[in-house]
Structure 1
């Protein structure tokens, strides 16, 4: 009958003591932060997830104003001198002003872009932010979106309509020669400012 060698037994003993001192830790395959059940939908629910936003914004505003003012002032004076014939002077000042204005503005924006979840609020709402850049005929078109979404407003296809976003900030800007030509010149803005 063979007996265990002393150095092998000492090694096993040291290994057992080392594991007892450091503590054995087992990790689970289940993670609360990333777990999604097999029957779950594909909705965004954590930071870094993507959400598709359909931007459907229509706005319309109209304002009318009419102003009419009339003013008439009169001053008469009569002077009489003993050496010369009577001198009479008179001044009449009058003015009429009729003014009116109308402002009407209508805007429509249709776009679709995918943004990221950048934060989760204490009440469970998702903070969304993202940007899309398009180039059309050397013109840069940029759509930037920020907002807050309730998870229940996100459809099963992971899509939300922009009218369901709270605190939404949607910016649509263009940059290029065509956009620059549509801007008024500084001198025209200055003349408007001083009243010409």
Structure 2
């Protein structure tokens, strides 16, 4: 019995831990499926002034080969605003009246029975009224700006680049981690070898902190466990 309780307890803890949002930095499936481009990258075209060798006379300083570095300018802004109102109203009334006395076909007693029915007022009536009114609003503004360098990991067959990059900062015993990955087009890289994050397809951007501040603002595992199973 104790073994069963311990197993259930572990399952509850696992469920609490898995409820935290996570992001996987694995490349998309098509990046793995598409073959790499192999058409003589890095070779100098004979007779051309614009080469791609080690020291060409004229060359573009933009990243173009595997392991070349490109600078990513991350500037993400999220603005969200929503408002909803709902109101319902329903009224229903039911009335069923019936006389308790009947004179049948005898007209002599008809006036008497009618008078008795009016006096007794025998009948049934019912009604209901339902009203609901609700409203809600939500406003959220977020901004994230930073710069990070990434490497070209793979040149796809169509000429696009799959890039990955990470950066770690340790400031006042607080560790900040930034990671990015995605697919970019070489045409979107500026002359300064920079590209904005809005031009990255299948972009995955991770930013997290580790340290005293993160521990102070994170709910303890016991609190998260109780919130996950508390029905009220």
TM-score, with length taken from structure 2: 0.57
User: How many residues are matched?
Assistant: 161
Larger radius of gyration: 1
Q: Which runs of 5+ in 1 are unaligned?
A: 1-30
More strand by share: 1
Distance in 2, Cα, partners of 1:181 & 1:135: 23
Distance in 2, Cα, partners of 1:88 & 1:182: 64
Partner of 1:71: 90
Partner of 1:143: 178
Matched, 1:152 2:190: no
Q: Which runs of 5+ in 2 are unaligned?
A: 1-41, 45-51, 102-119
Distance in 2, Cα, partners of 1:72 & 1:174: 56
5 Å-filtered alignment, 1:20-59, equals: 32=43, 35-36=53-54, 37-59=56-78
Greater relative contact order (Cα 8 A, min sep 6): structure 1 or 2?
Answer: 2
Partner of 2:13: none
Q: CA RMSD in A?
A: 3.3
TM-score, with length taken from structure 1: 0.66
1:80/1:134 CA distance change after superposition, 3 Å? farther
Partner of 2:39: none
Distance in 1, Cα, partners of 2:189 & 2:62: 7
SS in 2 for 1:146: strand
Partner of 1:163: 198
